[in-house]
Chain A
Amino acid sequence: MADASYPDNLKYHPEHDWALIDGDVATFGVTWYAQDALGEVVFFDPPEVGTTVTAGEPYTEVESVKAVSEVVAPLSGEIVEVNAALGDAPEAINDDPYGEGWMVKVRLSDSSEVGALIDAAAYEAMLA
């Protein structure tokens, strides 16, 4: 997997999740730090489209060989798309956490929550 990186165009949740906001829809995933801490991901439990997620609450799990980790939603809303490709190739979460490793797309219910997220610099400062 590539070296640590935290793209500037994303917003971050302190539980090691990112959100890419595009109008009222956001894409969620886990950060480079999270996938590194987890080790090789072997299973992604896809949530169902239509499920409501709440900021700060877990919406799915990812598993490595000897760990299970809940994935926390950075923002609230309704899942409109799930990255089905992760079912067969969960390693994308390690190989490309901000690209092929995206997890869900969510129609946001409260755009004001975005203000609570932190930017890349603040997230990196938190990790240091």
Chain B
Amino acid sequence: MTDAKLSARNVSVFYGATRAIDDVSMDITRDEVVAFIGPSGCGKSTFLRTLNRMNDTVANARVEGTILLDGEDVYAPAMDVVELRARVGMVFQKPNPFAKSIYANVAYGPSIHGLARHRDDMDRIVEDALRRAGLWDEVKDRLDASGTTLSGGQQQRLCIARAIAVDPEVILMDEPCSALDPIATARIEELIHELRGRYAIVIVTHNMQQAARVSQRTAFFNLGRLVEFGATSDIFTNPVEERTKDYITGRYG
């Protein structure tokens, strides 16, 4: 309990009158990878987006309950959204690099937060982020090329580098591999293994093998509720709930 990085308590999310998330509570610790699985429309992406308040941009979304980041209430008026998103980074389903150079893509976050004092500092941050995202060797000779000229898998790793560059504590990944081919997917999964321990990682995925491969704990969502949350090995081999079992064996959802 005390070493929880992110902690959700009785969280419900509404879109207008529709309840998308119903009374979800969970703790995520600082050195694990947590996978969210569940059928389409079960609310796992919605829940992910409440963790760094990306749902604020949706006009009629409303959140109840509390989400604590290191014990601080994320939805408290005193919480600065800009700082929150610097601490809780996000990678999206479709690779979405800025229409700028590779260098500028990675440098954008650090520059708006003022993390680099000199050009040299920035060069170091960019190189470091690209190395950690496993992209440095592929792009070091063409940092001025547009980020959109990269392949899909490279673009997604660029997006991960962009998120890493502001040195977050948590990285949220919303189906990061669903638009990628198997080889690019394997690259991203390797990367998640390498990043584990440095950042708390939450990954939403439709691919159950992927959840089994990359995560230590898995949460199964259905119809806006958290059905089961436990060690990944238990969820996939010995689920407690009947619905979880039906879902992972492909009988349902």
A-B interaction: no
